[in-house]
A and B are shown apart, each in its own frame.
Chain A
Amino acid sequence: MVKKDVEKLLKKVQKPARYTGGELNSVVKDKNNVKLRYAFCFPDNYEIGMSHLGMKILYSLVNAREDAWCERVFAPWEDMEALMRENDVKLYALESGDALSEFDLVGFTLQYELSYTNVLNMLDLSGIPVLKKDRTNLAPIVIAGGPCVCNPEPMVDFIDIFLPGEGEDVTNELIDLLIEHKEKGSTRLEFLREAAKIEGVYVPEFYNVYYNEDGTIKSVENIETAPQRVKKRIVSDLDKAHYPKDFVVPLIDVVQDRTVGEVFRGCIRGCRFCQAGFIYRPIREKSPETINEQCRSISDATGYDEISLCSLSTSDYTNIEKLIPMLFDWALKENINVSLPSLRVDNFSDELMEELKKVRRSGLTFAPEAGTQRLRDAINKNVTEEEVLRTALKAFDGGWTSVKLYFMMGLPTETLDDIKGICDLAQKVVDTFYRNPNKPKGKGVQVSVSCASFVPKPFTPFQWEPQDTADMLIEKQKVLLSSTTSKKIVISYHQSDTSVLEGVLARGDRRLGEVIYKAWQKGCKFDSWDEFFDFSKWTEAFNECNLTTEFYANRRREYDEILPWDIMDYGIRKEFLVDENKKAHESVTTPHCRIKCSACGANKLNGGKCDARN
């Protein structure tokens, strides 16, 4: 519900429906009938934020309670922000149109490091003091969740409470506690003391961090009621976990605008570069019946004509061959398409291949990640060249003519031979197409090579590794471009400066809060958008704080160094990560979790259970 002063502004901005609310299935309650108001904030624009499954789950979870009302907030685009500041309009939640400062809980999801400045900007636009120390009342309490919370240290100056892990259970517990303390009239500190006692709640002001002369961490002291380490929360049984019966249906085109069926959490693969592969462990699968029913309900309630199955690697779902026919049985009759991202086509049965041909096919994507077998072994991407080519052949037989190949550069132990190997592999895919007698007639092939820059992340075996400098990456990009002359191969890669900043923030410590604050004051926001990203402002901010990006990004950390994220317990044992790191340097692979359990430790979070081993 948009207020009159906002409506006037909407006539002057692009895509005004970003700011109107009123979408189908959005939840409007009477604010006088609830005890707690929760503003769920996504620190990016509407189109990105509305595509995010986690927000849909928590929105629905909180609104299922009678005593609480959850609303959505997104970062306004710069045209809207300028008008809001000019006309003194505060950032508001879409359902009520009320300013964020009227809420009890203001929650951000930290999905990627380059959205951090938007968190500051959104708080500022709301009239909520950006710095935690300037907020003295009980409400609003500013909380944050999402994958980046596995190392929340760079953001501790701005956030009161972090919720590592999955938000379902802990959100409800925190809401109960805040309602209780609101009614008691507690102070902020009294509330935080009790909150810190809940498992999976990290209250950063209850930790003091001391540094060595060289800038590394000397020790961490927990005070008040805070535990020494904060264990991430997980949902034990996905069949019983809350899942929305409907989605809010956006009025404008957003990035992911479809029914999403979550299939399982965690990943069995153990690719050493992949943070998601470790921080979402242990594996928990949903039954095909539950997934089917949930997809059915959301499709009915939204009118979406597409269902997408969501997980880190959908073909590793043990019941995929049962689930697909169940979905197809009703979806295809109703002109609903089923798309299966993160699929490895190679291990599919012929029956399933036939089933898949019934639906509109999306592009075909492989992620070999590295150009040579040696490097693929080092990063534990257990895919051989033969497998890639065999799958490509199967796909070309099935009528596909364009293939996307995902790679990374800047991986630990990488040499220029590995970079050249990327083009060699792409060329072999092209050759496979032309050698295939069954290739589609009259069509050429296109192989798109997309090369991301590797960023070492916490809780991966590469968390100690130095990241390539921007100069090294640019050099490698040049080699990559000069390694192919084929017009059938199109190469694209990322801007290297953004990778550097991402790496710094990912493995940063508390001292970066000042840098982020200064960068935001200089105008940094929407850093993940090329048109906004301004690395020179960040460089200034680092200089003013007497910190360097090299210290955080390009330095090899010792195994025994205290890492900023050691406060967090994600179930993964450090000894396991050390072993994996050593094996990487010897190019020794680790079999995936179904072949052999590597005792990463994450199953302890779920009472010893892990669906990789059933």
Chain B
Amino acid sequence: MPEIKKWAMEVRMSFEKTGMAKFISHLDTVRCITRAMKRANVPVWFTEGFNPHAFLTFAMPLSLGFESLCETVDFRLLEEVDLNELAERLDKALPVDITVKEIYVYETLPNDIRWAEYKIVFNNPDELLLERANSVLSSDEIIVLKKSKKGRNKVEKEVNIKEHIKSFELTEDNGKLVLNTVLSSGPSININPMLLIGALVKDTETDEQDVDIIKVQSFTENMEIFK
């Protein structure tokens, strides 16, 4: 049996993924960070299997096209290191639009995530959108078509996402419409903001793809900031 290396620390890196980095898919982000760790000589713990690879745990995969201010990835370090210095080193090894915020020893687990706050900017809203959005968000049920799988078949089913909207706020800003909202997030139930956006722009002329989506913050069940 080969010797199994023991790790010295388990840490979490929080980072922002903004600008052009929103076009990097989740899988590509994983590879990108793995390579950055190699470039920055991070003593990261590798899995011991047939195909050893850096052991990284991402809290929640971020959809392609979304920006985020609150991404996290957990990993293990083979030796005790200065985490501030490590954060600086890793930040330099990453593409410009992926910014390391902090590396720290964590106390929560990704499973603790229950809610996420999004800032959704409609760049070119049609004039009916504000009214329409207000009435949809205030109604008792918001039915959307959610894609899911039934066995091997892809099916679409109607779901009411009303209970998954914790809060919302609509503001107008220089001809843009901004929606700040807290939606269900986490391993058990996750509401993609695109579902809500689809319901809001329905019957209006607003292009649902001309929208900026920024994930601002993740929360636990008690609405404490996930860290």
Contact = CB atoms under 8 A, between A and B. Distances in A.
Interface of A: 2, 8, 10-12, 16-17, 20-24, 249, 251-253, 300-305, 334-335, 360
Interface string B86-99: 00000001111100
B93 A303 contact: yes
A11 B23 CA distance: 8
B209 A304 contact: no
Contact of B96 (A2, A22, A252, A305): A22
Contacts of A360: 51
B46 interface: yes
A22 B209 CA distance: 23
Given A249-B35, A303-B38, A23 B95 contact: yes
Contacts of B37: 303
Nearest to A24: B95
A303 B31 CA distance: 10
23 contacts: A11-B209, A16-B23, A17-B23, A21-B20, A22-B20, A22-B97, A24-B95, A251-B32, A251-B95, A252-B24, A252-B25, A253-B27, A300-B39, A301-B39, A302-B35, A302-B39, A303-B34, A303-B35, A303-B36, A303-B37, A303-B39, A335-B52, A360-B51
Closest 6 CB pairs of A and B: A303-B35, A303-B38, A16-B23, A303-B39, A20-B20, A17-B23
Contacts of B25: 17, 252
Contacts of A303: 34-39, 93
Contacts of A301: 39
Interface in B34-81: 34-39, 46, 51-52, 64-65
Given A20-B23, A24-B35, A251-B24, 19 more contacts: A2-B20, A11-B65, A16-B23, A17-B24, A17-B28, A24-B95, A249-B35, A251-B23, A251-B28, A251-B32, A252-B24, A252-B28, A253-B27, A253-B28, A302-B35, A302-B39, A303-B36, A304-B38, A335-B46
A16 B64 contact: yes
Nearest to A304: B35
A249 to B, nearest CB: 6
Contacts of A253: 27-28, 31
- The binding surface of chain A is classed by DSSP as loop
Nearest to A299: B38
A303 B95 CA distance: 13
A10 B64 CA distance: 11
A15 to B, nearest CB: 8
A10 B35 contact: no
Interface string B146-159: 00000000000000
A48 B75 CA distance: 33
A8 B210 contact: yes
Q: Most A CB atoms within 10 A — which of B27, B94, B209? A: B209
A335 B209 CA distance: 42
Nearest to A301: B39
Interface of B: 20-21, 23-25, 27-28, 31-32, 34-39, 46, 51-52, 64-65, 93-97, 209-210
Nearest to A28: B96
Contacts of A10: 23
A11 B22 CA distance: 10
A22 B22 CA distance: 12
Contacts of B21: 22
Contacts of A2: 20
Nearest to A300: B39
A134 to B, nearest CB: 35
Contacts of B96: 22
A56 to B, nearest CB: 16
Contacts of B34: 303, 305
Contacts of B35: 24, 249, 302-305
Contacts of B39: 300-303
B142 to A, nearest CB: 24
Contacts of B36: 303
Contacts of B31: 253
A120 B23 CA distance: 28
A303 B35 CA distance: 4
A2 B210 CA distance: 16
A253 B34 CA distance: 14
A45 to B, nearest CB: 16
Q: Most B CB atoms within 10 A — which of A16, A23, A303, A335? A: A303
Contacts of A304: 35, 38
B88 to A, nearest CB: 17
A44 B23 CA distance: 21
Contacts of B38: 303-305, 334
Q: Most B CB atoms within 10 A — which of A12, A16, A17, A251? A: A251
B95 A12 contact: no
Contacts of B94: 24
Contacts of A8: 210
B28 A11 contact: no
A12 B23 CA distance: 11
Nearest to A12: B209
A361 to B, nearest CB: 11
Contacts of A24: 35, 93-95
Contacts of A23: 95
Nearest to A23: B95
A251 B22 CA distance: 11
A2 B51 CA distance: 37
Nearest to A2: B20
A300 B40 CA distance: 9
A23 B28 CA distance: 12
B20 A11 contact: no
Q: Most B CB atoms within 10 A — which of A11, A22, A335? A: A11
Q: Most A CB atoms within 10 A — which of B27, B35, B39, B210? A: B39
A317 to B, nearest CB: 27
B79 to A, nearest CB: 15
A40 B34 CA distance: 29
Nearest to B32: A251
A16 B93 contact: no
B53 to A, nearest CB: 8
Q: Most A CB atoms within 10 A — which of B35, B46, B96? A: B35
A71 to B, nearest CB: 16
A457 to B, nearest CB: 37
Nearest to B123: A8
B95 A22 contact: yes
A303 B39 CA distance: 5
A40 to B, nearest CB: 21
A334 B43 CA distance: 10
A122 B94 CA distance: 31
A11 B97 contact: no
A12 to B, nearest CB: 6
B64 to A, nearest CB: 7
Nearest to B46: A335
A305 B44 CA distance: 14
A334 B35 CA distance: 12
Contacts of A252: 24-25, 28
A304 B39 CA distance: 8
A302 B36 CA distance: 8
Nearest to B64: A16
Contacts of B93: 24, 303
A11 B121 CA distance: 14
B77 to A, nearest CB: 15
A303 B38 CA distance: 5
Contacts of B27: 253
A440 to B, nearest CB: 15
